[in-house]
Structure 1
Amino acid sequence: MRLLACARPDLVARWDVLSDTDASPKSPRRRRGGATVDDVARHAGVSPMTVSRVVNGMANVRAETRERVAAVIAALDYAPNLAARLLASAGDIRLGLLYANPSAAYLSAFLLGGLEHATAINAQLLVVPCADADDIAQAAARLARAGVDGVILPAPLCDNVDVQALVADAALPAVAVASGAPLASMAAVGIDDQAAAREMTAHLVGQGHRRIGFIAGNPDQTASARRFAGYREALAAAGIALDDTLVAPGLFSYRSGALAAETLLAQPERPSAIFASNDDMAAACVAVAHRMGLDVPRDLSVVGFDDTALAIEIWPELTTIRQPIADLARTAIDLLVALIRDRRAGRAGRADAVPEHRILPFTLIRRGSDGNFR
């Protein structure tokens, strides 16, 4: 399934669901007999006007409502009848976005930020999921058939060598999002993962914690290594020796976080704090701690990374690193549009046309899941 956001300031933005054979921008197929705006509103428990506001990327909708409506839209394959007609008359810049992220909360924030910004700048955003490695080539081929002008690659696909090779072979402008080591040939946007993890670890040290567990991210993502490096640096700065038994592997998924927490908390001398490399795994840590009869944060401090909606949906709410996920999506679109316009103006390939690598600020957000070690 692929979601296509057609964006025009003077028209209602729409999402269209097209089959693989309908990838051409000249011959979109209209869905017949599918879900209506009233169906979406009923399943999401909101008004049809709220659904319209979400689809249009309007700001006056609460984050949790926006995510619920987006989930129902995807589940029902909602596509207004006007979508195909609007597709043909939308802006002249077509952007492809490939994604394969295990964190639904991260993905939701990223997609909504991207769709809103595409609407604002009159661009089309073609969203294509990659379920597994075998799907990557097929997804890239669908983007090529759709005639996209450039590609946005959020983590983990931005670090996938097969995806990088396909983009290079297609000679498409591309932007890597949240890569710990983006290619010089691609534009990129992210945060300083290493500095962020160093600051969070130092925060825990400052609360008196000495046995600080760490749940690593997916080893296939370069940002994972940088977050571990920041953790290691902060320990060294505090004179705390790295204890390999306090480091557990993770995959950025809730399930992997639960398994890692069970391993860390089963030790004879368990850690007094756990720093998980994303909020999904941190939330799993809190759940495991509660199941074991531990109070968070009195018995165990837990902190995360990303500041997704999940961080404030559990109890206690997570202390975490705020990664500006929606801003990453918006910035990626701006960088990609600039590359496309440079290419159209004949500036691509010049010595001064080096793809930009932009770093956005992060913030340590203190909530209720961490405390002083007693």
Structure 2
Amino acid sequence: MSAATIYDVARKARVSAMTVSRVINGGVNVDELTRERVSAAIAALQYQVNQAARSARKGTMRVGMLCGSPGAAYLSDFLLGATDQCSQQGAQLIVEKCGDLDSQRAAAARLIENGAACLLVPPPLCDQEASIQQLDDLGVPIVAVASARPAAHIHAVRIDDYQAAKAMMHHLFAAGHSDIAFILGDPGHAPAQLRLQAYLDAMSVAGMSTRAGRLAQGGGNYRSGLTAARELLDHPERPSAIFACNDDMAAAVVSVAQGMGLRVPQDLAVCGFDDMPIAASVWPGLTTIHQPVDEMARAAVQLAIDAIRDAGRPRHRVLPYTLVQRESTTAGAAH
């Protein structure tokens, strides 16, 4: 049988995990009956307090982060920004990896046991209703990062994915393209659905119908982009431009096109989204939407720290995006 967690104690005592943490650490904002109920639950479950972690966190504000499966480049940039912001604020970032709901529950419990007073929830967890509902039960503030439609009762930081994707479509229209294909992202990534909707709406408003063979399902990674690109470019009437839902898939499109002897952008314009390092390292460089991951990480940490210090109303911050024009859509474009 696995060892009891702080979450198990909270459920048995019918309180939040944060209340259990307060009892363990001698917090004053707990009434005596609740303190006794939590103590009884600890004894019944033979819960073992992590004394090393308890000693280490005294006097230090801790922000927890649940890591699902975001892209490696995104996660690296986010961690750097979040860690630096925590350092500037005299706080500490602690991270736990998780996958399904059961592992998320255990990971969140470990974070709170180790002193986390607020949880950062990046994609894809931030857009999973069951995931957010489970975290709500822990009784600590939540900050959703890059969520498509963050719930009103939690803190959030994001960009406007819909408007950013529409800006990219207008860029392609201005370059003279009307036959534009789109590679869809991971079906479980909610912002990817907003980007798809922006593509469809922009085509409709411009009076351009989406022809057969102009939508291909990708999975968000480079390999899925290769498959989707071949599907679109093997069509008897190739599109003049392909808008991929992220940079990894857009880079894959460039590779497939060049393998077929097509020139980018003369024969095929290609654009992506996110402005990850691969966008500037492939040739030609990818036109893309810059998502300010470092700024989003810093803003998320600041929201978390503000929430810990003052449990006020949830705040939603929408940061500006930038359309970065490179050579994949316009020959000779400046970096």
Instruction: Give the alignment's TM-score, normalised by structure 2.
Output: 0.80
The residue that corresponds to 2:238 in the other structure is 270
Asked if the contact 2:69–2:99 (Cα under 8 Å) also holds between the matched residues in 1, the reply is: no
C-alpha distance in structure 1 between counterparts of 2:273 and 2:156, whole Å? 20
Residues 96 and 331 from structure 1, CA distance in 2 versus in 1: closer, same or farther, beyond 3 angstroms? Answer: same
Q: For residues 295-314 of structure 1, what are the structure 2 equivalents within 5 Å?
A: 295-314=263-282
Residues 263-283 of structure 1: CA deviation (Å, up to 9, x unaligned): 111111111111111111111
The residue that corresponds to 2:177 in the other structure is 209
Q: Which amino acid in the other structure matches residue 358 of structure 1?
A: R
Residues 244 and 24 from structure 1, CA distance in 2 versus in 1: closer, same or farther, beyond 3 angstroms? Answer: farther
Does residue 1:245 correspond to 2:213, yes or no? yes
Over the aligned positions, Cα root-mean-square deviation in angstroms equals: 2.1
Which of 350, 356, 363 does residue 315 from structure 2 map onto? 356
Which of 197, 204, 208 does residue 229 from structure 1 map onto? 197
Query: How many residues align structurally?
Result: 284
Residues 153-206 of structure 1: CA deviation (Å, up to 9, x unaligned): 111110122321221110110111111110111111111111000010111111
C-alpha distance in structure 2 between counterparts of 1:293 and 1:94, whole Å? 54
SS, match of residue 178 in structure 2: coil
Residues 315 and 131 from structure 1, CA distance in 2 versus in 1: closer, same or farther, beyond 3 angstroms? Answer: farther
| Structure 1 residue 88: Cα displacement | 2.2
Does residue 1:183 correspond to 2:151, yes or no? yes
The residue that corresponds to 1:285 in the other structure is 253
The residue that corresponds to 2:327 in the other structure is 368
C-alpha distance in structure 2 between counterparts of 1:297 and 1:207, whole Å? 11
Does residue 1:123 correspond to 2:91, yes or no? yes
Asked if the contact 2:184–2:244 (Cα under 8 Å) also holds between the matched residues in 1, the reply is: yes
Asked if the contact 1:91–1:123 (Cα under 8 Å) also holds between the matched residues in 2, the reply is: no
Asked if the contact 1:199–1:234 (Cα under 8 Å) also holds between the matched residues in 2, the reply is: no
C-alpha distance in structure 2 between counterparts of 1:317 and 1:176, whole Å? 31
Q: For residues 50-65 of structure 1, what are the structure 2 equivalents within 5 Å?
A: none
Q: For residues 1-374 of structure 1, what are the structure 2 equivalents within 5 Å?
A: 26-28=51-53, 88=56, 92-132=60-100, 134-243=102-211, 245-343=213-311, 353-371=312-330
C-alpha distance in structure 2 between counterparts of 1:24 and 1:111, whole Å? 28
Identical counterparts, % of pairs: 46
C-alpha distance in structure 2 between counterparts of 1:215 and 1:158, whole Å? 23
Q: Which amino acid in the other structure matches residue 342 of structure 1?
A: D
Instruction: Give the alignment's TM-score, normalised by structure 1.
Output: 0.72
Asked if the contact 1:99–1:153 (Cα under 8 Å) also holds between the matched residues in 2, the reply is: yes
More displaced 10-residue stretch of structure 1: 128-137 or 114-123: 128-137
Residues 284 and 90 from structure 1, CA distance in 2 versus in 1: closer, same or farther, beyond 3 angstroms? Answer: farther
Larger Rg: 1 or 2?
2
C-alpha distance in structure 2 between counterparts of 1:168 and 1:89, whole Å? 23
Structure 1, gaps ≥5 residues long: 1-22, 29-83, 344-352
| Structure 1 residue 324: Cα displacement | 0.6
Residues 244 and 119 from structure 1, CA distance in 2 versus in 1: closer, same or farther, beyond 3 angstroms? Answer: farther
SS, match of residue 137 in structure 2: helix
| Structure 1 residue 367: Cα displacement | 0.7
SS, match of residue 170 in structure 1: coil
Residues 313 and 219 from structure 1, CA distance in 2 versus in 1: closer, same or farther, beyond 3 angstroms? Answer: same
Asked if the contact 1:91–1:124 (Cα under 8 Å) also holds between the matched residues in 2, the reply is: no
| Structure 1 residue 302: Cα displacement | 0.8
C-alpha distance in structure 1 between counterparts of 2:322 and 2:328, whole Å? 16
More displaced 10-residue stretch of structure 1: 182-191 or 290-299: 290-299
Residues 9-59 of structure 1: CA deviation (Å, up to 9, x unaligned): xxxxxxxxxxxxxx977415xxxxxxxxxxxxxxxxxxxxxxxxxxxxxxx
Structure 2, gaps ≥5 residues long: 1-47
C-alpha distance in structure 1 between counterparts of 2:70 and 2:289, whole Å? 18
SS, match of residue 214 in structure 1: strand
C-alpha distance in structure 1 between counterparts of 2:95 and 2:211, whole Å? 42
More displaced 10-residue stretch of structure 1: 305-314 or 284-293: 284-293
Residues 300 and 132 from structure 1, CA distance in 2 versus in 1: closer, same or farther, beyond 3 angstroms? Answer: farther
Asked if the contact 1:91–1:122 (Cα under 8 Å) also holds between the matched residues in 2, the reply is: no
| Structure 1 residue 226: Cα displacement | 1.1
C-alpha distance in structure 2 between counterparts of 1:286 and 1:115, whole Å? 34
C-alpha distance in structure 2 between counterparts of 1:192 and 1:25, whole Å? 41
SS, match of residue 364 in structure 1: strand
SS, match of residue 252 in structure 2: helix
Q: Which amino acid in the other structure matches residue 155 of structure 2?
A: A
